[in-house]
Amino acid sequence: MQRRHVVQYGAAGVGAVALMLGVGWWRVDGPGAPKPAGQRPLPLSAMDFRLTDHEGNKVGPETLIGRPTMVFFGFTYCPEVCPTTLSDISGWLEDLGDDAARMNVVFITVDPERDTAEAMAEYVGYFHPAIRGWTGPEDQISRAVEAFRASYERVPTEGGDYTMNHTASVFLFDAKGELVTMIDYHEPREFAVPKIRRALTEDVEGAT
């Protein structure tokens, strides 16, 4: 079973050491990685799921309403997409400076069998402190994925192990819980950060 990656981020967004082998890379990180489902995610206010954050607090979509939100689906044994994206997100948050404190940033596992709250706490600890890890029962994870119009599936690998095939985009919502846009995997920082600032600007305008 793969060990979790120890990832440090910096101002330049340090990437993770990857284990890109065989079908695991193809299905999760390469040309076989899934695209978003093609439908617009529901507003956060219309979603209904119950999860637990990495500190053991009960959370759900209502937890996110009131501040702009970034959501990313993945898992702690992810070989490349997840540590790379969380490093990217960490860099974006550094660029935002004090404005980063105005955002919710959530990493939701698609592998609750292995990703307990304790495992999520260890994993998100390697990234920006604003990032929260959410986990929970399989049925509630499925409800969350469906509401975001994302996708995931379990993919067997050699030796009886498995990896997870999952949507790799970051979902960006405004403070009212409406989708602003999505940030693609490996999207350059000069495009990603203005999208986030747009969500923050809509938050300010909505408050006036």
pLDDT of residue 203: 60
Q: Is residue 128 part of an annotated ligand binding site?
A: no
DSSP H/E element including 193: helix 189-207
CATH topology of domain 41-207: Glutaredoxin (3.40.30)
**CB contact at 8 A, 4 and 76:** yes
Please name the amino acid found at residue 27: R
Give the global pTM: 0.82
Q: How far apart are CA 37 and CA 128, in angstroms?
A: 28
pLDDT of residue 29: 43
Q: Is residue 54 part of an annotated ligand binding site?
A: no
SS3 content of the chain, % helix, strand, coil (to 5): 35, 20, 45
Tell me how far CA of residue 96 lies from CA of 30, 68, 77, 83, 100, in angstroms: 30, 13, 28, 20, 5
pLDDT of residue 31: 41
Q: Is residue 78 part of an annotated ligand binding site?
A: yes
pLDDT of residue 204: 53
pLDDT of residue 202: 77
DSSP H/E element including 180: strand 179-183
Q: Where in the chain is the domain with CATH 3.40.30.10?
A: 41-207
Q: In which residue ranges of the chain is pLDDT below 70?
A: 1-38, 203-208
